[in-house]
Amino acid sequence: MSTKETENLCGLKRENFQTNINGKNTDLYILKNRKGFEVAITNYGGAVVAIMVPDKNGKVANVIQGHDNIQEVINSPEPFLSTLIGRYGNRIDKGQFTLNGKEYQLAINNGPNTLHGGPTGYHARVWDARKMGPRSLALHYVSPYGEEGFSGELRITVEYTFTDENELVLEYLACTNKKTVMNLTHHGFFSLAGIANPTPTIDNLICEINADFYIPIDETSIPTGEIRLVKNTPFDFRKPKTVGQDIDSSDEQIKNGAGYDHCFVLNKKEEGELSYAARIEEPNSGRTMEVYTTEPGVQVYTDNWADGYKGQNGATFPRRSAICFECQHFPDSPNKTYFPSVILNPGEQYKQKTIYKFGVKK
């Protein structure tokens, strides 16, 4: 094989991602489609460290934020940087909920609340990896009973596929041996301009979100319980507008999130259908990304807390240099019984599918 064939577009070296953590090996896996574009993933937290796709001139760049070695992934200033999230994505009020008459207390890691499954959630676990051909990777993890305070042993498989249409497809399957709550997602930090030093702001991204309603939050980012119309608010993305247009408005909800950090209630004809959720377009590069999901909601986060920390290949990640579309059930659902259920019972199978499709504006 010639050197050219063994070189990766992302320039990441496999050996820089190889270590052993508590007897489990970490590694780097590169999915390449027939067009020659690629996605790079490590089995530490299921972190996607590169998505190499072209702009309108055919110039290929990495459009997701990540690190270039395993130690920086593990010690990232942003622990959830482009990782898998569980057992419960988003926040649970004071880390408490009741299930089957029993009260559960989870670790607190975000103000007074639990965020993204706690400090040692699925983002900080080594998953068992199996490469299933050049375009597909399956990650498997058994989350033991009592891990981070959750009930039930959960067995999870997440399959990543990078199609010839430049779609990153994530399919999730899970089952439990005891009644539990769960909300899985992937926390990709997307920078369609391409990561750089510094990575450009997302203010000029043109964004559309297929949602008539969103979920307001209190000052600790917990849902108030209301489901509110986006109409006449900064959260109205039903027609495309720039992310920056209303991101610093005086709206109380924008202040509570320090920008956008809210769950949008996706318009669905039926529960669980795979349908269009959102689209962004980066005007300079012409790159686009469309999001499709079976989930009822998408948490849109505009990277409001980054401080310019270092990423891969000399890139830096300033505040609001990425946007996240975390397809999921609603935050704090275990305490909001009228939200779509996040309970999984023994004998049931959890299924979810989310697609991030990359393209170029015609």
Q: Which run of H or of E encompasses 253?
A: helix 252-257
Determine the Cα–Cα distance for residues 41 and 43; give it in Å rounded to an integer: 7
Determine the Cα–Cα distance for residues 29 and 43; give it in Å rounded to an integer: 8
Determine the Cα–Cα distance for residues 342 and 176; give it in Å rounded to an integer: 13
Calculate the alpha carbon distances from 310 to 39, 72, 197, 205 in Å. 20, 9, 9, 22
Q: Which of 72, 147, 148, 326 is catalytic?
A: 326
Q: Contact, 341 vs 357, CB < 8 A?
A: no
Q: Which of 187, 281, 295, 329 is catalytic?
A: 187
Neighbours of 265 (CB within 10 A): 20
Q: Contact, 354 vs 160, CB < 8 A?
A: no
Determine the Cα–Cα distance for residues 87 and 116; give it in Å rounded to an integer: 7
> Any residues with CB less than 8 A from the CB of 244 and at least 6 apart, and which?
201, 202, 203, 204, 205
Instruction: Confirm whether 329 is a catalytic residue.
Output: no
Determine the Cα–Cα distance for residues 218 and 91; give it in Å rounded to an integer: 12
Instruction: Confirm whether 116 is a catalytic residue.
Output: no
Catalytic residues: 187, 326
